[in-house]
Structure 1
Amino acid sequence: MTLTSADDVSTWHPERRPWGVGDVVALLVWTTAIAGFFWDAVSLQKALFFFDITEINFPYRDFFARELRAGRFSRWCPGLYCGFPLYSESQAGYLHPLKYLLYPWLPTWQAFNLDTILSIWLTGIGTYGWLRRHVGAAGALAGAGVFGLGGFVWAHLVHTSMINSLTSVPFIMWALEAAWERGRGWPIVLGALALACQVFAGHMQDTILTSELIALYGLYRAATERSRRSRFAALGMAVGLIALAGAIASVQGLPSKELHSRSPRSGGLTWEELTYGSWHPELLPTLILREAYGTLSRDTDWMDGFYPYHEMNAYLGAIAFALAVVGAAAYRDRWVAFWVILAGLGGILMLGRFTFLFDFAHRIPIIGSGRIPVRYHLWVSLAVAALTAVGVDRLSRPGTVRLRPALLTIGILIAVSIPILVYAYTPIWSQPTRWRYPYHLTRFRWLGEQIRFGVVRTSLLIFAAWAVAALATRAKSPVLRSRLVAILPALILADLLGAHFSDVPTITPKYWTDPPESARLLKADPNFIRLFGIAKRASNEPGYASEPVDFLSVRDTLDWSLPPVWGLATARGETPMLPRRLLEFTDHVLPADGRFNLQSVTHLVTAMPNVEGWGKGTPAGSAFIYRNPTVLPRARLMGRPIYVESETAAISALDQFKPLLRDRLVIEDPTHPLPVDAPVSGTATITRELPERIEIQTESKGPAFLVLADTFDPGWSATIDGREAPIRPAYVAFRAVFVPAGAHTVLFRYQPAGFTLGLTITGLGLLMGMALLFWRLPLTLEPEHRTLDWPRAWPIAGLVALVLIVILSSFELQGAKLPAPHPRWARSFHRFTWGAGIEAINPPRGKNEAPQRFGAPQP
């Protein structure tokens, strides 16, 4: 936001130029860059995996895809968490368009590859088209590169739902601006559909961030209009887009909201939980040098553990920052001014806990459940992309463009980064004997090589970009100038791709197509019901560095959400949003208390060769399978109920009656239909099962409770011989139905809670959208590129305000004493170590580890 002279500012006047050969070339460059960089995945030679892909995204999509190929739209996944409302959790992306383009026709791993890479490609295409309304082909390509391959993408490459959501952002901006310009309703409808696709993609926080951006853009546009009517119109169109998107997305949004209300997040987050994942000021050097503190892909990210370091990737490159400064010099243009403001706001919000702006954010509805403030980098990425596009466009056209402010900005960033790095790395030379194990020395070598390579790469690209820009500003021929500037987008792409050349996690497709030995053995066991798997290694443990990881053998324990991929059911799973009842059950009934018996877990799978109390394990690849000889059937008739009136009372009963839970039923049934001392005998047999339909035959001499050890959910309904019967929570987390004496057929059916109402609202939203297609605004808004009449020094005032916010947040007054560092800044700068604390410098784990303790199965 460095100011330049009035002459400098006046040199850029946006021009609408028709699309032509230059656009074809630019789009080919973008497509070639994406296809070339992700070639292993695009050509289907290797499969994406790792971290959330392995734990959540792939297994969820694989279940959905298999059901689609079987001709079913199954919204309940029986293979996770003893049954899981997968549709309501939303990350499988049931209604996202790319799912139907790819998953019904291709093996899941191939569809997953193309889904992810196609989303990144479309993000760049959308950004290009949006920016092309304002700048030429070179500028649009530069902006597309910044937003489509910036740090936000790489931070969330393993969060597939976020990558799917990101695709919508530029299309929404494009549609909103077209609506303002044309005064028509159809762009609002298209923008609403794009925003609804974020909900359908399955990441609500992205939807919140984008909706906030739309509202902010609408407020800005209204504030810079000249008449009251046009102000209301500008803001109304933005709000209308959000409202219409909410209505269209209700078929997904309402079931997700219903699950959220039953999840641990329903009570909101504490300040610590909300601000976990704030962008630490010590990361400022990574804005210039991506590898300043190592990288996850090379197992050198020594900041990992202090916070989710992979989320902290805010790298957009020095070239992009410098060009953004050049673009920001046109701050008197109304369109440019908004992106200058957004860059500042996004940057300050990224800091999260380090400013007072988040002190009360956890008390604000919706926003207070967002967490990980660094995700406001979405705003910064978009703003820098827009300003970079303007900077390139200014350089490509005749007129004076001063490069000194851009060079000064990069110089300041480097100057501030040096002392931070010196402080952070001081232990290397002040305590040289602290790290002496080969495990650490190897990583020293890797880290040193990465930093040296990063410095050379970044320096060469910065110098090349400066040389190109300098030659362009001196070129007398407009054609030569535009051709020189056309090199800059290529340098931006080289910078962003070069900084992340090892960040695409791929593996042989056998990872997903060839079942591990443990899965083969369990599928062949006629007594198998459910498993409980415990991996020895984390799913995000790098395997690219000095200690390679055999990821194929890591699968053998069938941890996380892996079992359904091979047709198995598990009592485990991985998700940030699960029913609170399930969590309460697992918190209060431990394996040593007989939890596995109640959950019908027949097998324990772990990498440990010895598990106390479980007998001898069966080797299965690198894992061992242990049988539970005292497991209870998944469907069973029970008596001797312990009646409770609420979930809270049921939790207390679990604690009180733990030794008796095998033979006593804790049930929330206010009608008390069965005497508390009534014994029960009889059978319950599952005769037919689909994900959303379970048929059970019961036969007993007297009345009983049919207990199904599947997760309780309000979306399930039951009938007994065709007559409706209430489902009661059993053991807090499971389902029970009272059945009379005799032979009966009990049928369970599922439809997500909130689905019918959501579908109705979606239908109304689509009808409203069809009506808006023909709506026309009866007045004309101000041109989006008119000159603002704000004071010329407003960017300086804004920058000072942001600096004051940081300063005032950094200190607190303690009586009459001098200001002291504020507690929110505690541990904001870290000295060099490996991992998240002093304990991380101990020798690596040995091969002989103590056996894990789960408690013997309870008889």
Structure 2
Amino acid sequence: MNQNLHSKRLQGWQGHLLYHSLFLLLLLLPLLLGKEAFGHKDARMEVYPFLTLLHGRIGTVSMLWNDINFHGFPHFVTNGYIFHPLFYLLLPLLSSVSTLHWTIFFYLLGGAVCCTQVLKREGFSNYASMAVGAVFCLRLWPWMFAPGNAFILLLTPLLLLALQTATQRTKKAIVMGSASIAFAWLGAHFHYAVILMAVGLFFAAAQMVKQKQNRKKFLLAVLSMYVIGTTIGLLRILPALGYAALSSRGALVELESRTIGTLFPFLYVLPDFSAPFLSGSIEVLPYMGAVPLALVLIAVGSRWRSSLVWACLGTYIFSVLLAVPHSPLLALLSVLPGFRALGSPARWILIGATALLPLCAAGFDLVIRDAGKAQQYVARGMCLVGGLLAAASALASLLPTLLESFQGSIARSFDARFSVYLETIPSKAAEALGTHREYLQIFVSRFLPSLAERVSTQYGLLQAHMLFPILTLLAGGLLLMPRFWEKIPAAKRGTVLFTGCTASLLLVYVPLQWSRTVERGNLEEPSKTVVFLQENAQRSFSFLPSRGLREQLQLRNATQEEILSAQKHIMFTNQNLLWGIDTADYYEPLHPLRMARLVGAIGSEIVRLPEAESLAHSSLSMEETLRVLQQRRFVVNLLGIDHLVSTWPLEQAGFRKVHTEDVAEGKMLVSVYENPDTLPFAYFPKEIETMEPDPDGAYERLLGLRGNTPATLIECTECAGKERHSGLGKITVEYKEPTRVGLSTSSTEDQWLVVSQNFLPGWHMLLDGNRSPVSLANTVFPAVRLPAGNHEVILQFTYRQLLEDSIALLRNPQASLWL
């Protein structure tokens, strides 16, 4: 009797919580309890740095504004981190690295448990629901280090639970559904928020078909969830739309390059497979485990006439049509406002991946009872595919050994064939070619072994990303083979199949996860260059860091440790946030075009610009690039950059080297250069040229200026011409906080005041306590005309002002100062 009670207890949410906790602990063990961190580039360049920025600011108004990149930007508009409840709980207790890992764990855990509850409510067995819950929480595995992606895996089943209970507990369902949609808009990628709502609509349609009563009540509840949730989401949607209007993202996003391709079907069997002849972008990993995939196929084969199969497959096909290249459906939707700004069409596959989950659960229950011939065919297919892959992979492993045994024959064959070839061409050509005979022979003798070694490393059977998927495929096929399956007692089949599903996931994902981690020290231990910048730089800039890594470190021959070390030394994308160093550069999908053009003009590699406006992506030689940088040194000055980090000799551009450090045992030299001519944070300019607001015209006019201290270009309404002022007076920075700057000024004559900080939606200026209109200096900075005398100037960023500016920008963009 106690055993029965214990069994029933494990079937409740407590048992689900225990199982999924153990599952995810095994998967994330080196991250949660070890000294490892996510190794993905975006994790190191975006997620960890931004959480480090938030670490000392969470819960304060300063968390709204990143003041140490790009002269300031409201980072939450893009990443939504300030809307993650767990960050408020964990950041005060843990490091930023540990906070991310435990946040991902709790989000995935919640998503897996809630998904299990959804499936149980739909009538699937306990074991089937738990197994599919584990599959679901790994749907975004390639990008699960992103908090917003993990968050969406929690919010999606929460929304489905709300829809399931919309007619029984309407008020609670509306609250839960509204909160799920609101948090999706506030804390996740906007594309995934749209996908969550689409999944909810598909599920709501299915519930409507099942509903025989209270359909009107159900529809009103669903409508309330979507309206309330989206209305709350406007707190982030409106600023994002406003900043999108200031950026070039929509015009430069190429949807066709981010669709799924020929690689996609292979990933259902081998999750880490790649080949030069296969293409496609992977946002949602198709791999769901060998046994769960088999269960989907069994459900389709056994119940292909059922409404469940048709509904799920129809939804899956719809998502594929949104994600494939040259899709007419994608072309039709891409004309909708804002659709292109959502980004990669490959993300739409998440809808289809979610639609396959009920089929997996249905297949599980069918196999427990009797799946018929479909189970036999699927099992045989798994063994056949697994056997062929094992043979091919074994051959790839043996290729270097086989080639080595024939190396002498290959060399002799080359000599013979080369001699014959020389006799067939003109004597002069044969004589010229003969002088290179030795080099050609070396190339042949080295190229083939090198190619064989690469094939063995990539596709060999002893490689974890090949071995474990193949093993689980073969083991799953044998398990489901009727001659073996029928020997298992009926009472134990659920347990055995559940164990098989879990094992097929862990055996594949655990080695893959371990192989994609790096030591935390790369994120927590500063280099000597970083320490130098912390002590000496007011604002820095990394000049062509990727090109330096590519050409000087020779990435193909560098180890991962050398690459990570080099990126840290050269202050690669956003890594300044880890160390609190102010830099002019920034990786930001919604970067304002005005500032992006300025940093692009002096060598930023990461801003999204047309090639003609990007110095880094021009076809110029390095000598010509340095000459252009020297000509544009005034841009470096007006951006307030006093130190530049580079692997290139910036002495040729007129800068003085003040620090040098060897990287990767002398393979690369990183230097810091001083720029003594930089302009201060706030100043009175002497020479001034004024013009009407015009982003394109101002940019072209600014680049046409010359000299280290050219005239300051100011855009203001109803003004045009040249002015000259003394520039004399006193400016005191009373306080400088991320969202508030206070200045006191004194001058005996009228002056223009320029403050070297991004003036963007959300900021306003108070002059002597009163709101003051603001002009733009050098296309980006706030400027105000001050009468003679003493004045107090305050620049302040508020959320209310952000919403007001965003609405005004969207309603009447032509009247905007920025456009």
TM-score range, shorter chain: 0.7 to 0.9
| Alpha-carbon separation, structure 1, partners of 2:515 and 2:801 | 39
State the shift of 1:398 in Å.
6.4
The correspondence for 1:658, drawn from 690, 701, 705, is 705
List aligned pairs for 1:677-716, cutoff 5 A: 677-716=724-763
List aligned pairs for 1:594-673, cutoff 5 A: 594=633, 595-608=635-648, 611-613=651-653, 614-620=655-661, 622=663, 623-648=670-695, 650-655=697-702, 657-659=704-706, 662-672=709-719
* CA deviation string 1:457-491 (max 9, x = no partner): 33432333233333686369541333333323223
State the shift of 1:26 in Å.
5.2
| Alpha-carbon separation, structure 1, partners of 2:37 and 2:342 | 31
Say if 1:584 and 1:732, in contact at 8 Å, map to a contact too. no
AA matched with 1:565:
L
| Alpha-carbon separation, structure 2, partners of 1:68 and 1:280 | 41
List aligned pairs for 1:576-587, cutoff 5 A: 576-587=589-600
AA matched with 1:572:
D
AA matched with 2:538:
F
RMSD: 3.9
User: Residue 103 of structure 1 aligns with which residue?
Assistant: 91
User: Residue 717 of structure 1 aligns with which residue?
Assistant: 764
User: Residue 349 of structure 1 aligns with which residue?
Assistant: 322
| Alpha-carbon separation, structure 2, partners of 1:616 and 1:758 | 43
Q: Does 2:158 align with 1:118?
A: no
User: Residue 159 of structure 1 aligns with which residue?
Assistant: 146
For 1:515, what is the secondary structure of its paired residue? Answer: coil
| Alpha-carbon separation, structure 2, partners of 1:725 and 1:693 | 15
| Alpha-carbon separation, structure 1, partners of 2:593 and 2:144 | 29
Structure 1, unaligned stretches of length 5 or more? 1-16, 295-301, 761-859
Say if 2:734 and 2:744, in contact at 8 Å, map to a contact too. yes
* Count of matched residue positions in the alignment of Structure 1 and Structure 2: 718
Q: Percent of pairs identical after alignment?
A: 17
User: Residue 71 of structure 2 aligns with which residue?
Assistant: 82
AA matched with 2:47:
N
AA matched with 2:9:
G
For 1:744, what is the secondary structure of its paired residue? Answer: strand
Q: Does 2:475 align with 1:464?
A: yes
| Alpha-carbon separation, structure 2, partners of 1:448 and 1:407 | 24
State the shift of 1:688 in Å.
1.0
User: Residue 775 of structure 1 aligns with which residue?
Assistant: none
The correspondence for 2:295, drawn from 299, 323, 331, is 323
| Alpha-carbon separation, structure 1, partners of 2:760 and 2:682 | 17
| Alpha-carbon separation, structure 2, partners of 1:439 and 1:102 | 48
Aligned CA distance change for structure 1 residues 258 and 406 (closer, same or farther; 3 Å)? same
| Alpha-carbon separation, structure 1, partners of 2:53 and 2:175 | 32
State the shift of 1:258 in Å.
2.0
| Alpha-carbon separation, structure 1, partners of 2:48 and 2:746 | 41
The correspondence for 1:32, drawn from 15, 19, 22, is 22
State the shift of 1:600 in Å.
0.3
Say if 2:638 and 2:678, in contact at 8 Å, map to a contact too. yes
Say if 2:691 and 2:719, in contact at 8 Å, map to a contact too. no
For 1:676, what is the secondary structure of its paired residue? Answer: strand
The correspondence for 1:139, drawn from 111, 122, 128, is 128
AA matched with 1:135:
F
| Alpha-carbon separation, structure 2, partners of 1:720 and 1:145 | 58
Aligned CA distance change for structure 1 residues 58 and 455 (closer, same or farther; 3 Å)? closer
For 2:288, what is the secondary structure of its paired residue? Answer: coil
State the shift of 1:579 in Å.
1.6
List aligned pairs for 1:785-804, cutoff 5 A: none
User: Residue 500 of structure 1 aligns with which residue?
Assistant: 512
Say if 2:27 and 2:506, in contact at 8 Å, map to a contact too. no
* CA deviation string 1:297-329 (max 9, x = no partner): xxxxx579x655x64742223322210122344
List aligned pairs for 1:219-298, cutoff 5 A: 219-222=205-208, 230=215, 233-265=217-249, 268-269=250-251, 273-293=254-274
Say if 1:693 and 1:750, in contact at 8 Å, map to a contact too. yes
User: Residue 159 of structure 2 aligns with which residue?
Assistant: 172
User: Residue 352 of structure 2 aligns with which residue?
Assistant: 380
AA matched with 1:129:
Q
| Alpha-carbon separation, structure 2, partners of 1:434 and 1:137 | 60
List aligned pairs for 1:412-423, cutoff 5 A: none
* CA deviation string 1:693-735 (max 9, x = no partner): 1112222222121111211202111112212212212211222
The correspondence for 2:533, drawn from 522, 528, 550, is 522
Aligned CA distance change for structure 1 residues 74 and 462 (closer, same or farther; 3 Å)? closer
| Alpha-carbon separation, structure 2, partners of 1:651 and 1:30 | 57
User: Residue 129 of structure 1 aligns with which residue?
Assistant: 117
AA matched with 1:519:
V
Say if 2:756 and 2:781, in contact at 8 Å, map to a contact too. yes
Aligned CA distance change for structure 1 residues 495 and 379 (closer, same or farther; 3 Å)? farther
Aligned CA distance change for structure 1 residues 102 and 759 (closer, same or farther; 3 Å)? farther
Task: Give the number of the structure with larger relative contact order, counting CA–CA contacts within 8 Å between residues 6 or more apart.
Answer: 1
For 1:280, what is the secondary structure of its paired residue? Answer: coil
User: Residue 205 of structure 1 aligns with which residue?
Assistant: 191
Structure 2, unaligned stretches of length 5 or more? 1-5, 404-409, 415-442, 603-614, 616-628, 664-669, 808-819
State the shift of 1:499 in Å.
6.6
| Alpha-carbon separation, structure 2, partners of 1:19 and 1:199 | 38
List aligned pairs for 1:441-460, cutoff 5 A: 442-449=453-460, 456-460=467-471
| Alpha-carbon separation, structure 2, partners of 1:479 and 1:225 | 34
AA matched with 1:147:
F
State the shift of 1:670 in Å.
1.4
Say if 2:119 and 2:358, in contact at 8 Å, map to a contact too. yes
List aligned pairs for 1:839-850, cutoff 5 A: none
| Alpha-carbon separation, structure 2, partners of 1:117 and 1:503 | 18
| Alpha-carbon separation, structure 1, partners of 2:311 and 2:169 | 20
Aligned CA distance change for structure 1 residues 532 and 695 (closer, same or farther; 3 Å)? farther
List aligned pairs for 1:695-844, cutoff 5 A: 695-752=742-799, 755=802
Judge which range, 55-64 or 495-504, deviates more. Answer: 495-504
For 1:289, what is the secondary structure of its paired residue? Answer: coil
Say if 1:193 and 1:245, in contact at 8 Å, map to a contact too. yes
For 2:656, what is the secondary structure of its paired residue? Answer: coil
For 1:127, what is the secondary structure of its paired residue? Answer: helix
The correspondence for 1:486, drawn from 485, 491, 498, is 498
* CA deviation string 1:148-182 (max 9, x = no partner): 124x32x21343322233321122222212225x2
* CA deviation string 1:576-607 (max 9, x = no partner): 11122222333457644122111000001123
State the shift of 1:58 in Å.
1.6
Say if 2:127 and 2:495, in contact at 8 Å, map to a contact too. no
| Alpha-carbon separation, structure 2, partners of 1:218 and 1:758 | 36
User: Residue 4 of structure 1 aligns with which residue?
Assistant: none
Judge which range, 541-550 or 275-284, deviates more. Answer: 541-550
Say if 1:529 and 1:602, in contact at 8 Å, map to a contact too. yes
TM-score, scaled to structure 2: 0.78
* CA deviation string 1:602-637 (max 9, x = no partner): 001123466522233411463311101221112111
For 2:742, what is the secondary structure of its paired residue? Answer: strand
For 2:716, what is the secondary structure of its paired residue? Answer: coil
| Alpha-carbon separation, structure 2, partners of 1:573 and 1:398 | 58
| Alpha-carbon separation, structure 1, partners of 2:145 and 2:152 | 13
| Alpha-carbon separation, structure 1, partners of 2:178 and 2:241 | 19
